[in-house]
Amino acid sequence: RIITIVLGNSYYEESMNDPYLAYLGSQGILLSNYHAVWHPSQPNYIAMIRASKSGLTDFNQDVEGASLPDLLEEKGISWKAYIENYPGNGFNESHSVDKLYVRKHNPFISMNQIRTNSSRFIYIVNADRLKKDIEDGTVPQYVFYTPNMANSGHDTNVNHASNFLNNTFIPLIEPLLINSRTLLVITFDESSKYLDSLTNYNHIYTAFIGPNVLKSMKHEDDGWYNHYSFVPTIELNWNLSALGTGDDTESTPFSDGFFLDII
């Protein structure tokens, strides 16, 4: 099982200055040279499930064509997106009434092939559902989790996001992490200093955590990666077809072999 949680708007050094995020990085594999692909937010989320920005440069745009769920379904791999404060039922507005949910942080609803098909958008659910799915033993193999605008740190700060991880999210999914074939990926959508320098563009924190990360494997990986790396890695893990939508030649899988065959 792969669980990805996407936090919001923090540059790498800021994230590493947070004690809990630094601790999590030390307990797994810290990708110290990982980058978001754009500003504002939405293209980064699309990149994580399509290995392409798909021409998006702004908010609340729709995308035609296949994405990661198409490949997963083709192979019989279960998936679900747990989105905090999401109103449900294919909700397609830019934000919820309380503005804690925003469409731009829900890439699946932007995919035309999912949004227009009620048999598919049922796999986009309010994050409150995760607790019950854990209790019922029905958590899918691929999980994408988006905290709300406060818990992600977007409208608060990285310390708030870290506290959410430490006090709420990690304790919630702890029963899943007992499974030796579960991997948690913690990343950010973009850097708050996305134009800090041309050589360090959109540098963000990303770490792999889980029981399958053996003590002997814990280290810092300084290889160059970005959000495009998610899709080819997941394709390899489950032997999926290839989307073939990479925006650049850097759309390469993560190099650590432990990531593969975790199912």
Q: Which are the catalytic amino acids?
A: 155
CA atoms of 19 and 81, how far apart (whole Å): 28
Helix (H) or strand (E) holding 170: helix 170-177
Cβ(9)–Cβ(150) below 8 Å: no
Q: Residue 237 is which amino acid?
A: N
> Cβ contacts of residue 204 below 8 Å, gap of 6+?
10, 11, 12, 15, 34, 35, 36, 187, 188, 190, 191
Tokens 């290995």 locate to 51
For 176, the token pair is 């899943």
Phi/psi-derived region of residue 97, left when phi > 0, alpha when psi is between -120 and 50, beta in every other case: alpha
Phi, psi of 83 (to 5 degrees): -120, 120
The widest CA-to-CA distance across the chain, in whole angstroms, is 48
**CA count, 13 A, side-chain hemisphere, 212:** 20
Among residues 199, 166, 120, 180, the alpha carbon closest in space to that of 5 is found at: 166
For 164, the token pair is 């959410």
